[in-house]
Amino acid sequence: MSSVSRLFEQFDAVYFDLDGVLYRGLAPVSGAAETVSELVRGGCAVAYVTNNASRTPGEVAAHLDELGIPAAASEVVTSSQVAVQILCEHAAAGSRVFVVGGAGVEQALLDAGFIASRDPRDCVAVVQGFGPLVSWEDLAQASYLIQGGAIWIATNLDSTFPTQVGIAPGNGSLVAAVRNAVGREPDGVGGKPDRSMMDRAMAVVPAKAPLLVGDRYDTDVAAGISVGIPTMLVLSGVSAPADVWASKIRADYLGESVRDLITEYVGAQERSDGYSCGEAKAVYQVAESVVYATGGTRLERLRAADSLKWSLVEQVGVDSFAEGRISLDLGE
């Protein structure tokens, strides 16, 4: 992770997660439009890969366009599309499917030749995704169908998602409610980290040297690892420095936001007593079981600390960080 000029110049395509990366709720993340526009001008292809199943690709593209972010519906991959792709392995086109979620779930079913129904009668399957109007009644009817033998596909398992107000319950929390009622797991899950999501994205926007940018380790970074492509974790959404420290998997790059794609990227460098990054340094005090990161910006301190953490993993094990036996002091 050495220093380079502008990070995006190493890649011929960038796959962006959306919630917490380019926008929070309806509001853009600062610098998102500028960043994506700069990538496109620089000849870098872009695609948008979202676990949020509530909207259709066309609606997502229109929202991005309103925010000044160049996007076409053909560049958008949603977990609804992948969930329905999985459903096709279990049920024939023309089957009646109970819809839990927004218009994105319904449209994906219709596009694949299913009968999308908000009425549970005669439904042989349930596709459960997020929608702001999902009700207790929807979850109850889905549970009854599943207990009666219906196929159950979830679009994604994100427990939360970021909005402009704060962190809200995500589809994973709603899936957990149904799981508690029916006593089993879904028959399939469409969203990241399942590699089906990234396989579809890479088919939509092929690339020889792609980068995946997201705000979660459990979905975004894990998805990149599943298909062997580099990842960038940004702190503009769900994840905070504490999550970086506790994660059992590693993002290749860290950024405060997507803006770090188009500014000079300063990577961490090993030194005799730890790691440095820009004006920051990170050292491990063995007697205290603490890594101290000082100087520079918060991001420089975090990059230095993350590199030091992973240099210690073979010696102390990743659980030492995940379980807090070795703590991080960022000087905040």
Asked about 17 being catalytic, the answer comes back as yes
Contact 54, 22 (CB under 8 A): no
Please enumerate in sequence order all residues whose Cβ is within 8 A of that of 121, keeping only pairs 6 or more positions apart, or say none.
none
Exactly one of 19, 215, 220, 306 is catalytic; which is it? 19
Kind and range of the H or E run holding 142: helix 136-147
Residue 242 to residue 267: CA distance in whole angstroms? 20
Asked about 218 being catalytic, the answer comes back as no
CA angle 3, 7, 8 (to 5 degrees): 160
Kind and range of the H or E run holding 232: strand 231-234
Contact 90, 151 (CB under 8 A): yes
Contact 286, 273 (CB under 8 A): no
Exactly one of 17, 138, 215, 218 is catalytic; which is it? 17
Residue 244 to residue 295: CA distance in whole angstroms? 19
Residues in a beta bridge with 96: 115
Contact 193, 219 (CB under 8 A): yes
Residue 119 CB-density burial (10 A; 0-12 exposed, 13-18 middle, 19+ buried): exposed
DSSP labels, 102-136: -HHHHHHHHHTT-EEESS-TT--EEEE---TT--H
User: What residues act catalytically?
Assistant: 17, 19
